[in-house]
Chain A
Amino acid sequence: MTDAGIATIWVYLSTTPLLGLTITLVAYGIAYRTYLWAGSNPLLHPVVLAVTMLILFLVATDTPYEAYFTGGQFVHFLLGPATVALAIPLYQQLPKIRRLWLPVLITLVSGVTIGALSSVALARLFGASLQTQLSLAPKSVTAPVAMGISEQIGGLPSLTAVMVVATGILGAILGTKLFALLRIRDDSVKGIAMGITAHGIGTARAFQVSTEMGAFSGLAMALSTFTTALVLPWLLQWLGWLG
């Protein structure tokens, strides 16, 4: 096979969904095995490793993100049904949710407000551009929702997606350490805090700790999605932070 022949095949393959989909699964497979091999060290979170490997590969092969996403979108699409699937662990915790509905409601409204305002305030204080500030505001809710809110308030949806993933990873890494520091052992408390702060990535981490923590994290993630979508645009406008 000549070099020109290989180049032609590459040009063809790099535009088909097959390549993007395959490298996503391979990178995640390697990342997940590395994470397990390192004793589930949170710093080696599989999303961080997989994203790093994929970006290095795409930059090295000069493949644009759009070409990669023709395949990546099949994995991305599953976020929808996975969000719907959170109803099942949620239902299994129904008796406990029924007893705790008032604390959950109070925590939810205050947590969502604190999360959004602290991110915009810190970004403003340290001199971020308005567009970056607004892209950061919905960072604690799940990616598809955050992107919608970002567009609505004047941020950059694709930058928001990155901020959402970064927040999720930070929350998943720091959460269990912060809870140990505060001596919080109740899985329902840990789950609620994780879900409000770190959406699906935090929820994935919470399920590794216990099903109860995962279910409460899923509950908090779902309800904070609603709360943020309804409260955030109005809140930022009221504060005059929309520019």
Chain B
Amino acid sequence: MQFLNGITLLLIFQLIGEFGARLLDIPVPGPVIGMLLLFLALAVRRSVPPSLDTASSTLLSHLSLLFVPAGVGMMIHFERITGEWLPIAVALLGSTVITMLASALIMAGTSRLFAPGERQDD
């Protein structure tokens, strides 16, 4: 029952998010708005109900599985991907490395600058 209650709450917040996104015509997906609303609700309530905790840890522990059907979609773009494999490979690999390094360095630098003493080296 805990899991069921939790997943119901998640779906309700997703539904409110979808509704809000369309009503206000914001180009942001419903689930993301749902997440921010749930975050605000938890911040006001100041605790996480056990049912939500159960449902979210179950869903998040198998997050990778949820990307599999989209990944299989590669098969319908097989020709384009083989035809343009070099630019696609360079863009994916290069941009992933650049973004990861730049974000990590900027975050490390700005943390030291704006929140000194926050670093917890282990």
**CB of A82 within 8 Å of the partner chain:** yes
**Listed residue (B13, B56, B59, B104) with the most chain A CB atoms within 10 angstroms of its CB:** B104
With A76-B69, A99-B115, A200-B63 known to touch, is A107 a contact of B110 (CB < 8 Å)?
Answer: yes
> Chain A residues with Cβ under 8 A from B87's Cβ?
122-128, 132
Number of interface residues of A (CB under 8 A): 113
- Cβ-defined partner of B92 (8 Å) among A119, A127, A158: A119
Q: Closest Cβ of chain A: how far from B41's Cβ, in Å?
A: 8
In the assembled complex, the Cα of A225 lies from the Cα of B29 at a distance in Å of 9
Q: Contacts of A59 on B, CB cut-off 8 Å? A: 75
Task: Tell me, rounded to whole Å, the shortest Cβ–Cβ distance linking A30 to chain B.
Answer: 12
B82 within 8 A of A: no
B63/A82 in contact, CB under 8 A: yes
- When distances are taken between beta carbons in the complex, the residues of chain A under 8 Å from B60 are 82, 85-86, 89, 204, 207, 214
Among the listed A106, A107, A119, A201, which residue makes an inter-chain contact with B95, where contact means beta carbons less than 8 Å apart?
Answer: A119
Question: Cβ of A184 and Cβ of B88 under 8 Å apart?
Answer: no
Instruction: Answer whether residue B4 sits at the interface, using C-beta atoms and an 8 A cutoff.
Output: no
Roughly how many angstroms separate A186 CA and B115 CA in the complex, as a whole number? Answer: 13
Q: Cβ of A122 and Cβ of B53 under 8 Å apart?
A: no
- B96: which of A156, A198, A222 is its contact (CB, 8 Å)? A198
For residue B27, which residues in chain A have a CB less than 8 angstroms away from its CB?
148-149, 152, 229-230, 233
A128, B91: Cβ atoms under 8 Å? yes
Chain A 153-209 interface residues, beta-carbon cutoff 8 Å to B:
156, 158-159, 161-168, 170-171, 174-175, 178-179, 182, 184-186, 188-190, 192-194, 196-198, 200-201, 203-204, 207
User: Which residues from chain B contact A142 at a C-beta distance below 8 Å?
Assistant: 32
Whether A126 contacts B42 in the complex (CB less than 8 A), given A75-B68, A115-B99, A230-B28, comes out as: no
A129 within 8 A of B: yes
Distance to closest chain B CB from A133 (angstroms): 8
Report the Cα distance A217→B41, complex, angstroms.
Answer: 21
Chain A positions near chain B (C-beta within 8 angstroms): 20, 24-25, 27-28, 45-47, 50-51, 54-55, 58-59, 65, 68-69, 72-73, 75-76, 78-92, 94, 99-100, 102-104, 106-107, 110-111, 114-115, 118-120, 122-129, 132, 136, 139-140, 142-145, 148-149, 152, 156, 158-159, 161-168, 170-171, 174-175, 178-179, 182, 184-186, 188-190, 192-194, 196-198, 200-201, 203-204, 207, 214, 220, 222, 225-226, 229-230, 233
27 contacts between A and B (CB under 8 A): A24-B69, A46-B65, A55-B72, A73-B69, A84-B17, A85-B60, A91-B43, A99-B115, A102-B115, A111-B106, A115-B99, A118-B91, A120-B91, A126-B90, A127-B86, A128-B91, A132-B80, A132-B87, A159-B80, A161-B70, A178-B101, A189-B108, A198-B96, A203-B63, A207-B61, A225-B29, A233-B27
| Apart from A72-B69, A165-B70, A230-B28: 17 A-B pairs, beta carbons within 8 A | A24-B65, A28-B65, A28-B68, A47-B71, A50-B65, A55-B74, A69-B72, A82-B66, A102-B115, A103-B110, A111-B99, A120-B91, A161-B70, A161-B73, A185-B121, A188-B111, A189-B111
